[in-house]
Structure 1
Amino acid sequence: MDEVEVVVAHPERATLRVGDVFLKVDADQARADAEVEAMSLAPVPTPEILWREPPVLALAALPGTTLGRLGGPSTGSAAAWASAGAAIRKLHDAPLPPRPGRAGRSSVALAAELDGACAALVTDGHLPAGLVTRNRRVAEAALRPWTPAFTHGDLQIAHVFVDGDEVTGIIDWSEAGRGDALYDLAAFTLGHEEHLDDVLTGYGGDVDREVIRAWWSLRSLLAVRWLIEHGFDPFAPGCEVDVLRSRM
C-alpha cells in the first residue's frame, strides 16, 4: 500500500502524494479554477488531470525530476536549463489568458506592498535596516511598464520537471495569468544565478538582466515575513535572506 507523503501544507492549501497521484486541496475554488484553466491553455506540458472533486484536484505525476530547489544544489546540464528557458519562452509567446496572474500586479500596487513589507521586516526585527534599504533600491528597477505575457506566476525550479535535457512538464499553475515575463525568469533562477546564462540561451531575445536581479530582491523582500509566519525558513542557506545578502 502506498504511503501518503505531505508535499507541502500551510493554511492556504496542501498537496499530498499517494503513489503516482498528487492530491491538491485548496479551499479557494477560484484559485483552483484558475489553475485548471491555465493548464488547459498553456502550450507546454502540464500534469494530467485525473479527476476533480472540490476542494480536491487529482493530478498524475510527471516523468523526470526537478532541476533542484531553492536552498539546495542545482542539478541538470546546461542544456536542460536552456530547454527550460525555451519552454518558458514558448509560454510567454502564447496567446494571453483571460485572467491577470500573480505576476500581473501593477507597479503602484507592488510598490505599496513592498514598502509595507520592508517596514515590517525592520520593525519586527527580522532583517537589519541596511539590508532592507539596499534591496529596496535594487527592487526599484522591477517597478516599470511591461508588456503582458502568459505567465506562470510561481515558476520556482521545483515546479519544472526534466528528463535528461528535455522538459517533461510544469506544475502548480494556481498563480498563472497575464503578467510580467521577467517575473517568471527571476522566480525560476532565484538562488541559482549561476544558471541564468543557460536559461537565457534557451529563452532567446534581449532580456534586461538588471530587472531580473531587481525581481530577485523584490520577490525575496515580499516573501520573508510570509514564510516565517507559515513555518518555513527563509534564513536557510541559499534561500531568500541569502539572496538579499548577495545584493550587498
Structure 2
Amino acid sequence: MTDVHEVEVVVAHQERATLRVGEVFLKIDADRTRIDVEAEAMAVAPVPTPEILWRKPPVLALAALPGTALGRLGEPSIASPGAWAAAGAAARRLHDAPLPPWPGRTPDEIAAHLDSRCEWLVAERVLPVDLVTRNRGIAEAALRPWTPAFTHGDLQLDHVFVDGDEITGVIDWSEAGRGDALYDLATLTFGHEERLGDVLSGYGADVDLDVIRGWWSLRSLHNIRWLIEHGFDPFLPGCEVDVLRSRM
C-alpha cells in the first residue's frame, strides 16, 4: 500500500469501527463472532461481496468496492430505478440460496426485545406514548411465523454498491443468518418508501406490504435507543423518528 496520506474513520462507536486506508477497509470488532459470521457469509453469498485481503481477529481487511452506495438514509437517492431493481434481484438470489448453518432470532425473541425498547422510549420520554403505541401495533404484522431464508440482516441502502444499473457488491455481513426475507427488503427501503416498487420489480415475488411496514416501524422502535447511546441522532430528517411519524 503506497501513497496513503490519511486514515478515514468511516464509522466508529463502542462496539466496532471501520477505517479506510487507501483502497483497504479495516473492520475492527470487539465481538469475534461477528467477524467470523461476516467472513463466512461473504464466502457463500451468491452476490458480489468485497474481497477479503486478510483476517486477524479482531480485524478484517477488505478491498474497496467499485461504484457508489445506492443511497444514504435521510438523503434523496440519485440511483436509477434500474439500480434499485438490481438490488431487489440480488436480495432474491440471496434469499433463494441454501441456509447458513448458524441460527437466527425467533419472532418471540424479537418481540420481547422490542417491548423492552418501547418501555424505555416511554419511560425516558424520548417519544410520545401515542407514537410508540401506534407503531408497536403496526410492528405486530412483522412478528408472525416466517420461513427462514438466508438474510443479510442489515441490508441498508448504503451497504449496497452500484455502478449504473449493476450491483458491484454488498458490504457489512456481520448480522447475516437465518431470518425473514421481508426484513431485508424493509431494511433496504427504510426511509425510502418511494423506492419499494422498484425493489419489488427486481425481487420478482409478491410480498405482504403490511409486513414490510411492520418491519419499518419495528426497526425504528428497536434502533432508537442504540443510536442515542452510541452518539447518533435518530431525529435527523428522514431517519428513524420521521419513519415512525409517517405511520401516524
Q: Shorter-chain TM-score: which interval?
A: over 0.9
Q: CA deviation at 1:106?
A: 1.1
TM normalised by structure 2 equals 0.97
User: Is 2:121 the counterpart of 1:121?
Assistant: yes
Q: Is 2:24 aligned against 1:55?
A: no
Residue 236 of structure 2 aligns to a residue whose secondary structure is coil
TM-superposed deviation, 1:105: 1.6
Q: Which runs of 5+ in 2 are unaligned?
A: none
Equivalent position of 2:111 in the other structure? 111
> Structure 1, residues 159-209: CA drift from partner, whole Å, max 9, x if none?
000000000000000000111000100000000000000000000111111
Please give the alpha-carbon distance, in whole angstroms, between the structure 2 residues aligned to 1:53 and 1:88.
Answer: 29
CA-CA distance at 1:85 after TM superposition: 0.3
The Cα shift of 1:2 comes to 2.7
2:81 to 78, 81, 84: 78
Alignment coverage as a number of residue pairs: 245
Matches within 5 A, 1:99-178: 99-100=102-103, 104-178=104-178
Superposed structure 1 runs of 4+ greater than 4 Å apart: none
Matched, 1:199 2:199: yes
Distance 1:178 1:2 in 2: 41
Once residues 93 and 75 of structure 1 are traced to their aligned partners in structure 2, the CA distance between those partners, rounded to angstroms, is 29
The alignment partner of 2:149 has SS state of strand
Aligned to 1:33: 36
C-alpha displacement at 1:232, in angstroms? 0.2
Tell me by how many angstroms 1:31 deviates: 1.2
Residue 184 (structure 2) aligns with: 184
Which secondary structure state, in structure 1, belongs to the residue aligned with residue 154 of structure 2? coil
* Residue 44 of structure 1 pairs with residue 47 of structure 2: yes
Task: Report what 1:236 is aligned to.
Answer: 236
| 1:72, distance to aligned residue in structure 2 (A) | 1.3
Counterpart-to-counterpart distance in 2, 1:116 and 1:176: 23
Q: Partner of 1:22: helix, strand, or coil?
A: strand
**C-alpha separation between the residues in 2 aligned to 1:105 and 1:212?**
18
By how many angstroms is 1:114 displaced?
A: 1.1
User: Any stretches of 5+ residues in structure 1 without a counterpart?
Assistant: none
CA deviations over 1:117-151 (Å, ceiling 9, x no partner): 11110110110000000000100000101001000
Q: Deviations over 1:71-118 (max 9, x none)?
A: 111121101100010000000000111012xxx321111111111111
1:66 matched to which residue of 2? Answer: 69
Percent identity over the alignment is: 76
In 2, Cα distance between equivalents of 1:152 and 1:221: 20
The aligned amino acid for 2:212 is I
The CA deviation string for residues 34-60 of structure 1, in whole angstroms up to 9 with x for no partner, is 110000010000000011122111000
Q: Once the two structures are superposed, what CA deviation does each residue of 1:198-232 show, in whole Å capped at 9, x if it has no partner?
A: 00000011111110000000010000011000000
Q: What is the alpha-carbon distance in structure 1 between the residues aligned to residue 124 and residue 108 of structure 2?
A: 24
Matching of residues 204-215 of structure 1 within 5 Å: 204-215=204-215
Equivalent position SS for 2:62 = strand
Distance 1:126 1:13 in 2: 25
SS in 2 for 1:162: strand
The residue that corresponds to 2:91 in the other structure is 88
Cα RMSD, aligned residues only: 0.7
